[in-house]
Amino acid sequence: MGKLSFIILLFITLFGYSQNQESEPTFYSEIAEKVASKAYYNVKFGNPSEVVVNDTIFMANSETWIEKNIYTFKSDFEMLVKKYRDNEFIADEIIQLDSDKRILKYFGNLKYEGEKWYITKVNYEYLKRKKIKEKMNDLGEIYMRYTVTYDSINNPTLIEHTIVGTDKSRLQNINYDYSNSQFIIMDFNYQGRLEEEIKGNINSNFVIETNDNGDVTKMYWILTDKKEPYIHEIDYEYDEKGNWIRLIKNVISPNGIKRPYHRTYRKIKYKN
């Protein structure tokens, strides 16, 4: 297995539980959020008061993670979140949203390794083809800024990590050759030196099938060669308002082997 194939397989496996608000944005996390958003609190129809999500993730090493997130809406623009992993309480969060249900402000009390709890504060700003994410310390001072720039089809082209105060930045620059379905990532360190260069495939037309609700039921994984693709198959069940309450996803590898990836269930309570 080549280096890039291993990265893609590892990434497909890890994406289910790696989308924490304190995490640094990368090319892989930005692409994944574009094609398989983990914003499970978001519903198409109705006004929810609470969304309970139970998510089972099947990893490549045969390990299984079980996550439970409880989203309680104080208003249309603020929600409280409690997160559990394998029945262990791991996060207590307060999140402010904009009218498009994007995160504007994040406050989290998070459990890390060693049974230690840490406070994390993050602010977001959304501009045309750009997202700015700023992490703050306990005094409310910004100490890290992440800036993601996108192209016209919303693929990340530049990701900048800046240590605020010293103005030291490292860059991840992504160049696309859409005509040949390829990309090149160039990682530069804080001294401006090129540390790593990775070439891979990018499929702009990754959707294969959708259902009558407009949800994707079959797609190529966006970073695999369509000649040897990883294919996701997704099955849904909907409630009476038309929001999905069950999402079952399987991954078919290039050798034709199908394996489970996600089993996600939602219980949605509505205000009216």
The tens digit of pLDDT for each residue in 226-245 reads: 888 999 999 999 999 999 99
Contact indicator for 218, 231 with CB cutoff of 8 Å = yes
Burial code of 187-221, b = ≥16 C-beta within 10 A, e = fewer? bbeeeeeeeeeeebbbbeebeeeeeeeeebbebbb
| Helix axis angle, 3-14 to 27-35, nearest 10° | 50
Q: Compute the distance between CA of residue 150 and CA of residue 126 in angstroms, rounded to an integer.
A: 11
Rounded to whole angstroms, how far apart are CA atoms 241 and 177?
A: 42
pLDDT in tens, 95-131: 999 999 999 999 999 988 777 898 999 999 999 999 9
What pLDDT is stored for residue 21 in this prediction? Answer: 63
Per-residue pLDDT of the chain (272 residues), as tens digits, is: 444 444 444 444 444 433 466 689 999 999 999 888 889 999 999 999 999 999 998 876 666 889 999 999 999 999 999 999 998 999 999 999 999 999 999 999 998 877 789 899 999 999 999 999 999 998 889 999 999 999 999 999 999 999 999 989 999 999 999 999 999 999 999 999 999 999 999 998 899 999 999 999 999 999 988 888 999 999 999 999 999 999 999 999 999 999 998 899 999 999 97
Cα angle 211-213-218, degrees, rounded to a multiple of 5: 30
Q: For position 13, what pLDDT does the model report? A: 45
Cα–Cα distance measured from residue 7 to residue 88, given in angstroms and rounded to the nearest whole number: 29
Contact 70, 31 (CB under 8 A): no
* pLDDT at residue 167, rounded to an integer: 86
Q: Taking the alpha carbons of 113, 42, 253, 235 in that order, is the dihedral positive or negative?
A: positive
Question: Which helix (H) or strand (E) segment is 259 a member of?
Answer: strand 258-270
d(CA 225, CA 37): 22
The Cα–Cα gap between 111 and 20 comes to 12
Are 111 and 117 in contact by the 8 Å Cβ rule? The answer is: yes
Q: Answer yes or no: are the C-beta atoms of 243 and 46 closer than 8 Å.
A: yes
Residue 72 and residue 49: Cα distance in Å, rounded?
6
* Burial annotation 127-166 (CB, 10 A radius, 16+ → b, else e): eeeebebbbbeeeeeeebbbbbebeeeebbbbbbbbeeee
